[in-house]
Amino acid sequence: MTLQTIRRAGARPYPPRVSAFTSTFWAALAKGRLVTTRGKTSGRLSFPPKPFCPFSWEREVEWAELSGRGTLYSHTVVHAAPNVFAHLAPYRVCIVDLEEGLRVAGALICADEPMIDAGVEATALLHDDGPLLGFMQ
């Protein structure tokens, strides 16, 4: 499933490091797809993606596509921000429970006051230097 994408001018304030392994995740997100790893034997999804299954410790993992649909578990607005994010403050962040049973964190984009337990959809925030994961409500 392809996520909605939003263009964001400028570079990410605090860009994530990318490894040879996690580059698969970031390249997919840049194309509007949310993926993570699953243990081949355990069948269990993990997030963030890892070169092993944290539940079974097997090294054989495969990439799996996620729907990007979930519910809002919690959220906040950061007013007192670190220097690197100060130009964006106040800004929203959130915790989301994906329908595949994974809890993740991201930026939150919404026009009205967010509603806990209501649905959200993942979105790819496309900055000049790469993507970040966001959620829309």
Within 13 Å and on the Cβ side, how many CA atoms surround 11?
6
Least distance to another protein from the beta carbon of 67, Å?
15
Q: How does DSSP classify residue 122?
A: E
Least distance to another protein from the beta carbon of 75, Å?
6
List Cβ neighbours of 113 (8 Å cut-off, separation of 6 or more): none
Least distance to another protein from the beta carbon of 65, Å?
17
What residue ranges bind another protein (CB under 8 A)?
A: 12-17, 22, 46-48, 54, 73-86, 88, 90-91, 93-95, 97, 101-107, 116-117, 132-133
